[in-house]
Amino acid sequence: MKRALITGVTGQDGAYLAKFLMSKGYEVYGTYRRLSTPNFWRLNYLGIMRKVNLISMDLNDTTSIMESIEISQPDEIYHLAAQSFVGASFEQPIATGEVTGLATTRMLEAILKRDKDIKFYNASTSELYGNSSSGPLDEATPFKPQSPYATAKLYSYWMTRLYRDAYGLFAANGILFNHESPIRGLEFVTRKITNAIAKIKLGIEKKVILGNIESFRDWGYAPDYVEGMWKILQNETPEDFVLATGETHSVKEFLSLSCEIAGLAMDDVLEVSSSLKRPLEVHYLVGNPSKAEVELNWTHRMEFRDLVKEMTEEDIARWDSFINGKPVIWDAQHYDDNNNIIKTRYKMDA
């Protein structure tokens, strides 16, 4: 039986990947960070909480990383843990550099010291491209990061390549375009929209407040993408791959479709606030997944409309259950979409 270690198993991709690898017969180990209240809701939601071997690991501590590898004895490591939100990276650029950038080198060093045969997947991102080109973007397109998050990920991308080239590790980057699901974090715009639309539909909220609604993103479905991660590590040689749908849609289109599915009029619910805009914006991303399609036989399955539908309907069903006193496994009851959290770094003109 193969063994996999997933860092960030409590996140969207970590949870889906754990479930996917179990379906392939893997023994799955997952790391989480110790918090006062552990964040295991996604593992519970997917019904795998008791099947994942959980290891508390600190990404800033090489000893802790070595210990996780020692315990799990993995054939494959999927390094997903990161401060993954672009907006927060402007507020905490140094912490983002540590966790999203430098921690990848700690992981690679640990592999080099412990067992050079462990295969390593690094979670790279389409944010690396910034506004470098209007695309479609592929493995050969130059990078031009536009946020502390993307800059930290760029470092992490190159360290993964460096350990592959310099030390012969099987280390590969998946350059993944945005992928969403009903277990996406609430701070990300897609889930922020579907959660707010569900609340408006049920009369709990009146408005969804958004920043830049003219950004375009290539949005896929997270379960499709975790399969791609696995395929990247099953390839004969360690290589970097773009995973994308090849289609792009604006935030406004996402909102409009979510409203249509919920039976609401977009103009009645949308409020745009420039205070939510970032110091630098990535305007338009669309990927070219041809290499993964040809060499890995990977393709996305879920289309944009179905993705928005699943997310919107799931959030409506959750809120409906919640207000009717039925049990729901989710995150949203503790989260206020239109909260007054103060942006420490980039409060723009309101």
Query: 304: buried, middle or exposed (CB in 10 Å: 19+, 13-18, 0-12)?
Result: buried
Q: Which residue, 111, 112, 107, 151, is CA-closest to 128?
A: 151
Q: Which of 149, 157, 225, 284 is catalytic?
A: 149
Task: Rank residues 122 and 262 by Cβ distance to ligand NAP and give the closer one.
Answer: 122
Contact, 194 vs 312, CB < 8 A? yes
Task: Rank residues 10 and 312 by Cβ distance to ligand NAP and give the closer one.
Answer: 10
Least distance to ligand NAP, CB of residue 308, Å = 15
Strand partners, 77: 5, 120
The secondary element (H helix, E strand) that includes residue 253 is: helix 251-262
Task: Rank residues 11 and 238 by Cβ distance to ligand NAP and give the closer one.
Answer: 11
Residue number closest to ligand NAP, CB atom: 11
Task: Tell me, yes or no, if 155 is annotated catalytic.
Answer: no
Question: Residue holding tokens 């409009």?
Answer: 256
Least distance to ligand NAP, CB of residue 312, Å = 18
- Binding residues vs ligand NAP (CB under 6 A): 8, 10-14, 33, 35, 39, 59, 80-84, 99, 123, 125, 176, 178-179, 185
CA 313 to chain centre: 21
Task: Rank residues 26 and 177 by Cβ distance to ligand NAP and give the closer one.
Answer: 177
Least distance to ligand NAP, CB of residue 264, Å = 26
Q: What is the DSSP string of 90-115?
A: HH-HHHHIIIIIIHHHHHHHHHHHH-
Task: Tell me, yes or no, if 149 is annotated catalytic.
Answer: yes
State how far the Cα of 310 lies from the Cα of 261, in Å rounded to an integer. Answer: 10
Contact, 147 vs 90, CB < 8 A? yes
Least distance to ligand NAP, CB of residue 89, Å = 10
| Residue 25, CA distances (Å) to 20, 252, 317 in order | 9, 41, 32
Least distance to ligand NAP, CB of residue 292, Å = 14
Least distance to ligand NAP, CB of residue 263, Å = 28
Neighbours of 236 (CB within 10 A): 6
Type of residue at 184: R
Q: Which residue, 123, 156, 129, 166, is CA-closest to 248?
A: 129
Task: Rank residues 43 and 196 by Cβ distance to ligand NAP and give the closer one.
Answer: 43
Task: Tell me, yes or no, if 62 is annotated catalytic.
Answer: no
Task: Rank residues 79 and 201 by Cβ distance to ligand NAP and give the closer one.
Answer: 79
Q: Which of 10, 100, 104, 125 is catalytic?
A: 125
Type of residue at 47: G
CA 66 to chain centre: 25
Residue 331 DSSP label: S
Q: Which residue, 301, 274, 214, is CA-closest to 249?
A: 214
Which pair of structure tokens corresponds to residue 87?
A: 């907006």
Least distance to ligand NAP, CB of residue 126, Å = 6
Task: Rank residues 81 and 232 by Cβ distance to ligand NAP and give the closer one.
Answer: 81
Catalytic site positions:
125, 127, 149
